[in-house]
Structure 1
Amino acid sequence: MTPSKPPGKRRRSAPPPRLPSPAPPVALSPPGFVADRAEAAARVERLLRYQFCDRALLEEALTHQSFSDGALSYQRLEFVGDAALGLAFSNFLYLTNPTLGPGALSTLRAANISTEKLARVAVRHDLYPLLRRKCPRLDLLVGQFIESVKQELMHDLATAPYGGSVVKAPKVLADIVEAIAAAVYVDCKFDLEKLWKVTRWLFEPIITAETIDEQPVTTLHELCQKHGKVAQFKTWQKDGMIVVNVFVGGEMVGLGSSEQKSLGSVNRNLLSSASENIGQNLSLN
């Protein structure tokens, strides 16, 4: 929520819009660490402001399949959560966009429940450290993505929630969000309205028809997927600049850099044009 203006200070100019400000991402636990399930569940309940009737559902949602103590993993709940969030967003977008056709509504829904968007929800609310798991490689991949998001939050706050990182979002982060949503959904007897009321704020800012063009990475991925292609990114720093290459089908289709040390700046300038070039190339195939 937007904080109140400090009393007694003159406003020089209109400040940029502020995003919800959860605690910054915490350091990942060491390999082999197992989160205390009762403590992790209690933290999620506080986050959601929702008390589970059957807390075992939440504990299941916070258990990765690599955790081998005979406990159920989140996989079944993730299956339900994927569908439940899709329907919840379908209802919301249908009601709030009375003039949009099914194609535009489908695009908005896909953007709001994409792996990239849901992974960022998990990062912003520090959900991964609460997951019981035994997979050091997963910790490494998640750590790299979290670091990328933290850099964007420092340099490009206005667009970071929408995605745009050149580091691929690990699916496990989106799975956690979907599993937690499913735990709520099942716990409240499959009440979709209750699910939306409890979880909606987690997804803010919700991507709208006015803001969907601000996420070129998602747009590029969706474009490639429609044509059976995969987009890959390579990024590095050189002489104080961030340099990004975009590859599709092993062929480099774009190169960009920024002196502002902002991935968002590179992505908006490079990937928007790359999307156009890819679209032209694919249409000729």
Structure 2
Amino acid sequence: MEVQSKRIRARIQRSDEIDVVVLVEKIKEITGYEFRNPNLLRQAFTAHSYLEDDKNETDSYERLEYLGDSVIGYFVAFHHYSTYPDLSVGKLTKLRSANVDGEKLARAALKHGLHRFLNHNKPMLEAQIKQFEEAIVQYPIHSFGLVDTPKALADIVESLVGAVHLDSNSVDRTFQVIDKLLEPMVTPSTLSSNPVSMLFELCQKHKLSIEVLSRSWPKTGVFEYVVGGDVIGRAEYRSKRLVAKSRAAADAYDKLVAKLEAQNRQEQTNIDKTHSEAAQSGDEEQNGEEPTCASKEITSGEPNREEQIENDKDDNIKSEVQSGDVQTNNSSYYSVHSSAPRTKKVADVVNRIWTWLVS
């Protein structure tokens, strides 16, 4: 009775199944390829959950998915090898991974609406697809592990490619379909690393210890990263362990980068302050030196060197005149005293006065 009810439910589900002729036309519009064997195409869009209990997995898309996975991997590897001749093996590997992983293929399925043709019996799948569609808006090219991807979306891209390869029996024709489905592909300029890899590389560069706290994830859904003894990254996501791990790593990476940048700014501030203090100290030492003649004249009002010499001459003459050695006369500049013993001395004084007057 129970088996019969399942078969009835299966027949009811199949009543909504898209007609295979319509399916051929729709896939032709999307890929440019027209299937010669419609049943092969229908198999490519039939999930195992959709089959009755007396059916085996050979009637689902699982074997086509297996084949398509290998064909896509080969195409992407060959395409990158030919397009980027100077790219190292390590970067080629990362680039290939970004273009064949579950998220990239799921994006292709969503972009071309392939999920509309999927026959399945997964009540939660529609909600998961909707959540995925909303999440990738934040990441136009790839989230690199931060978004939970419905596996069924990636599966039908691989199974479709596998079906095209079998039906066409042509590598070139299959490659054309893959190229159209995966456009736009992740390129070296848009390639980014997984947050986990980025975090570990950053810690290694700055010689920081790192520890992953994940034992509580099965119960709490929490992932944490401890860097340099401090919990710096945390994320909670119960549905998928890898997503929780990637989100915690992204959180830790962003916070660590901000912390290191703040440290660098503080160090630069200290350096600038030291330089400023040294320059200020040098200016003060320079200001403490003997001022120039011009500054003496302007700032202190004191006579300059030439004026000081002239003043000294005036003082000497004034002293000598006051002592009686020299006296003034209206008929001449100076009149020598009549005392004979002092004649030579007076003559010397007169000569000095004359020299001063004419100078």
TM bucket (normalised to shorter chain) is: 0.5 to 0.7
The answer to whether structure 1 residue 57 and structure 2 residue 40 are counterparts is yes
The code of the aligned residue for 1:61 comes to: A
Report the Cα distance in structure 1 between the residues aligned to 2:196 and 2:65, rounded to whole angstroms: 22
Which residue number corresponds to residue 170 of structure 1?
Answer: 150
Asked whether the equivalents of residues 161 and 174 of structure 2 are also in contact (C-alpha less than 8 Å), the reply is: yes
The code of the aligned residue for 2:132 comes to: F
Q: Secondary structure at the match of 2:149?
A: coil
Report the Cα distance in structure 2 between the residues aligned to 1:230 and 1:103, rounded to whole angstroms: 29
After TM superposition, give the deviation of residue 253 of structure 1 in Å. 4.9
Q: Secondary structure at the match of 2:59?
A: coil
The answer to whether structure 1 residue 78 and structure 2 residue 36 are counterparts is no
Which residue number corresponds to residue 184 of structure 1?
Answer: 164
Superimposed CA distance per residue, residues 162-210 of structure 1 (whole angstroms, 9 cap, x where no aligned partner)? 2368440111111111111111111121x32221112202212111111
Report the Cα distance in structure 2 between the residues aligned to 1:178 and 1:221, rounded to whole angstroms: 27
The alpha-carbon distance between structure 1 residues 220 and 64, as it changes in their structure 2 partners (threshold 3 A), is same
After superposition, residues 1-285 of structure 1 pair within 5 angstroms as 34-38=16-20, 39-69=22-52, 70=55, 72-149=59-136, 152=137, 159-163=139-143, 166-189=146-169, 191-213=170-192, 219-220=194-195, 247-248=223-224, 253-254=232-233, 271=250, 274=253
**CA root-mean-square deviation:** 3.7
191-200 vs 174-183, which moves further: 191-200
In the alignment, structure 1 segments of 5+ residues that lack a partner are 1-30, 232-244, 257-266, 279-285
Asked whether the equivalents of residues 161 and 178 of structure 2 are also in contact (C-alpha less than 8 Å), the reply is: yes
Asked whether the equivalents of residues 225 and 234 of structure 2 are also in contact (C-alpha less than 8 Å), the reply is: no
Q: TM-score, normalised by structure 1?
A: 0.62
Report the Cα distance in structure 2 between the residues aligned to 1:126 and 1:58, rounded to whole angstroms: 15
Report the Cα distance in structure 2 between the residues aligned to 1:50 and 1:230, rounded to whole angstroms: 49
Q: Secondary structure at the match of 2:85?
A: coil
132-141 vs 64-73, which moves further: 64-73
The code of the aligned residue for 2:26 comes to: R
In the alignment, structure 2 segments of 5+ residues that lack a partner are 1-11, 200-211, 215-220, 236-245, 258-359
Which residue number corresponds to residue 26 of structure 1?
Answer: none
The code of the aligned residue for 1:143 comes to: K
After TM superposition, give the deviation of residue 58 of structure 1 in Å. 1.1
Question: Which structure is richer in relative contact order (CA contacts within 8 A, separation 6 or more)?
Answer: 1
More helix by share: 2
The code of the aligned residue for 1:72 comes to: D
Superimposed CA distance per residue, residues 238-283 of structure 1 (whole angstroms, 9 cap, x where no aligned partner)? xxxxxxx983589975369xxxxxxxxxx99x938628969xxxxx
Q: TM-score, normalised by structure 2?
A: 0.50
Report the Cα distance in structure 1 between the residues aligned to 2:79 and 2:71, rounded to whole angstroms: 12
The code of the aligned residue for 1:109 comes to: R
Q: Secondary structure at the match of 2:132?
A: helix
Asked whether the equivalents of residues 246 and 254 of structure 1 are also in contact (C-alpha less than 8 Å), the reply is: no
Report the Cα distance in structure 2 between the residues aligned to 1:83 and 1:109, rounded to whole angstroms: 12
Q: Larger Cα Rg: Structure 1 or Structure 2?
A: 2
Q: Secondary structure at the match of 2:176?
A: helix
Report the Cα distance in structure 2 between the residues aligned to 1:199 and 1:95, rounded to whole angstroms: 16
The code of the aligned residue for 1:220 comes to: P
The alpha-carbon distance between structure 1 residues 100 and 164, as it changes in their structure 2 partners (threshold 3 A), is closer
Task: Give aligned-pair identity as a percent.
Answer: 29
Asked whether the equivalents of residues 24 and 34 of structure 2 are also in contact (C-alpha less than 8 Å), the reply is: no
The alpha-carbon distance between structure 1 residues 65 and 275, as it changes in their structure 2 partners (threshold 3 A), is farther
The alpha-carbon distance between structure 1 residues 249 and 82, as it changes in their structure 2 partners (threshold 3 A), is farther
The total of aligned residue pairs comes to 209
Asked whether the equivalents of residues 51 and 60 of structure 2 are also in contact (C-alpha less than 8 Å), the reply is: no
After TM superposition, give the deviation of residue 105 of structure 1 in Å. 0.8
The code of the aligned residue for 1:60 comes to: Q
